Structure 1
């Protein structure tokens, strides 16, 4: 199968994930770029940031029109992650390739475990919002985004639920504001690295991911959130296992 066809298919899946779940785009995009399209881990994380930035911004627009974005809370969360995202993005270009792969595998496995938790685990917290907790969660998420080229939606959504007390639907929409901001901040620090990307692959990937984000928003309204999360979690566990084998062999 040609690289163009693979990039179109992978982009559609990434877009569906971001639109439906408010996260998961980078977690799928980076392995697809490495194992299907032949990118190095460093190039894949840079391309992943570009893909996640464009796709999450599109999905954010769709959720904003539906009124599920809490702008004040999301901005506070996102601002805390801007500097960590930029710093981690600059540091990631200097890390060994195997270290990036191993770290990504660990994050993918963590994401899968969180998504397999019972629905009750995501019930909104009744505790009052604490600025220190908001800043800490936002900074940690920003660093993760910059380092691994992922938006971190699988962590942003639970954090927005538990730290800010948002309902699940609002957390999904608001997480896209956080993801867009952090991904863009990290991408700016990697500006020179984008020059060497294979744009014949990245451009169609971004295009179908952007279109897929709209379909994902519609899919979320028709399919059970539990079914979506569990299906996605199984796929992530498979990705994590593949990457661990790659590091060990």
Structure 2
């Protein structure tokens, strides 16, 4: 096992815990280029790692009352069809095409994360100014204006599709979607997105169960354990420090990994 695996797993956990997403997208390149797994094996193993890490990562957010269980579960259930469709489509795509598309996805995510940092300071400041003590978990009704229903359904389906196809959590799309579609504050969107990621990862993994992909459970256990430690540390960071600088630095790292992935995978298209 490459010595780089442990710090990468820690970084992925930190991002999930502090930002509610984005970090899981590094799991697939790490499994492919550091551990030599093929694209299908890596995207399937990533679902296990990301799903379990997200479940643990949401605990500190739940303690601060930033996990909306009802809305999160409904959002995740709405994405089930997308998860199954994405998992089915992934098995039909050549590995080189899958990794090239993954590189493009990483570039898109990096741009979205950089864009998000411009708005986070305002959102966080508003949340701190208006926030009140909240119970550990809240089960508020899934109340949205009817004109937003289509947006919520489409977004949930799209996130599920990404999860099933690429083996990523989709938190980079979830956080802004929860802010815009459900009017969540940024801390609540980050916490709730972890629950949705866990639901999407679980359904996508079920969809892939019949695919006959061999998984290295020792690698998955080590990777997940380190990522969970990172996620708990990330949860502490989210409660004390503005994650803007972390987001920018992570976006730059994503761009670098995307370019490396593209350079390795594009030649395989021809």
TM-score with structure 2 setting the length: 0.85
SS of residue in 1 equivalent to 2:66: coil
Deviations 1:2-25 (CA, angstroms, capped at 9, x unpaired) = 43x443332211111100110023
Q: Greater shift after overlay, 190-199 or 110-119?
A: 190-199
Residues 195, 143 of structure 1: CA spacing in aligned structure 2 closer, same or farther, 3 A cutoff? closer
Q: Which residue of 1 aligns with 2:111?
A: 113
The equivalent position to 2:200 in structure 1, one of 174, 182, 185, is 182
Pair member with larger Rg: 2
The answer to whether the Cα contact below 8 Å between 1:7 and 1:201 also exists between their aligned partners in 2 is no
- Residue 128 of structure 1: CA displacement? 4.7
The answer to whether the Cα contact below 8 Å between 2:41 and 2:213 also exists between their aligned partners in 1 is no
Q: Which residue of 2 aligns with 1:133?
A: 151
Residues 245, 160 of structure 1: CA spacing in aligned structure 2 closer, same or farther, 3 A cutoff? same
- Residue 120 of structure 1: CA displacement? 4.5
Residues 118, 87 of structure 1: CA spacing in aligned structure 2 closer, same or farther, 3 A cutoff? closer
SS of residue in 2 equivalent to 1:163: helix
> Which residues of 2 match residues 10-25 of structure 1 at below 5 A?
10-25=8-23
Number of corresponding residues: 245
In structure 1, C-alpha distance between the alignment counterparts of 2:211 and 2:22, rounded to whole Å: 23
In structure 1, C-alpha distance between the alignment counterparts of 2:213 and 2:169, rounded to whole Å: 21
Q: Greater shift after overlay, 152-161 or 115-124?
A: 115-124
Where does structure 2 lack aligned partners over 5 or more consecutive residues? 124-143
The answer to whether the Cα contact below 8 Å between 1:153 and 1:179 also exists between their aligned partners in 2 is yes
The equivalent position to 1:66 in structure 2, one of 55, 64, 72, is 64
Q: Which residue of 2 aligns with 1:98?
A: 96
The equivalent position to 2:229 in structure 1, one of 211, 214, 223, is 211
Residues 206, 118 of structure 1: CA spacing in aligned structure 2 closer, same or farther, 3 A cutoff? closer
- Residue 211 of structure 1: CA displacement? 1.6
- Residue 194 of structure 1: CA displacement? 7.2
Q: Does 1:199 align with 2:217?
A: yes
The answer to whether the Cα contact below 8 Å between 2:13 and 2:53 also exists between their aligned partners in 1 is yes
Deviations 1:54-101 (CA, angstroms, capped at 9, x unpaired) = 000111222112210122222222111012102211321231001110
Root mean square deviation, CA, Å: 1.9
The equivalent position to 2:163 in structure 1, one of 112, 124, 145, is 145
The equivalent position to 1:39 in structure 2, one of 32, 37, 40, is 37
Deviations 1:137-182 (CA, angstroms, capped at 9, x unpaired) = 1011100100000000011001111111111000000111111100
The answer to whether the Cα contact below 8 Å between 1:7 and 1:204 also exists between their aligned partners in 2 is no
